[in-house]
Amino acid sequence: MRFAGWSAVVAAVVAVASTMPLVWSQDRPPTDNAELARLFREDQEDRNPGLHAIDWSAVKPRDDARLARVRELYVANALHTGADWLHAALILQHGNGPEDYLLAHEMCVAALAEGEKGAKWLVAATEDRFMMAIGRKQRFGTQYEPAGEPGKFRLAPTDSGVTDGLRTALGAPPLAEAKATERRFDKK
């Protein structure tokens, strides 16, 4: 009888001890990655002067370094919150090709899944960049390209099969509005 009592106590202790790590991990929500937040701020500060005042010869090497670091953080599983996914996505969408844009798009979806509502528009924009990078029309009307004259921009060709309802759901303007405001990027 004594053995049965001890085995019950041991079983209870093992059961409680085995669930403790689970309870501890649930008590501590993940925190935003401070390095990603800093990289995001630096990325945005580099774009503060406006499209036509950016010194791309200075910004491009910094962009490349940020892209490399974001890829390292991603591979190291250092992205844990919606904000982390959004910050990484924004940096990657300033990348160099379809692989960067597709990964940025997937990160935006992860950010939304983690509750980061600020990722909505970027979901559309990263898909548009990806589509254009592989030689297809953009779908949501978020991307503009140089027009015939220097300093002039126009809405890039856009797939008419996407409805304005879907555009609006993702925070992109209706196609007519995107077209009407295309000159906002023109050099004044």
- Any idea where the domains of the chain sit in the sequence? 34-185
User: Looking at the predicted structure, is the pLDDT value of residue 13 above 50?
Assistant: no
Per-residue pLDDT band for 54 (boundaries 50, 70, 90) equals confident
User: Looking at the predicted structure, is the pLDDT value of residue 9 above 60?
Assistant: no
- pLDDT tens digits along 86-126: 999 999 999 999 999 999 999 999 999 999 999 999 999 99
Q: Which pLDDT value is given to residue 148?
A: 83
DSSP 88-134: HHHHHTTSSSHHHHHHHHHHHHHHHHTT-GGGHHHHHHHHHHHHHHT
More confident residue, 152 or 87: 87
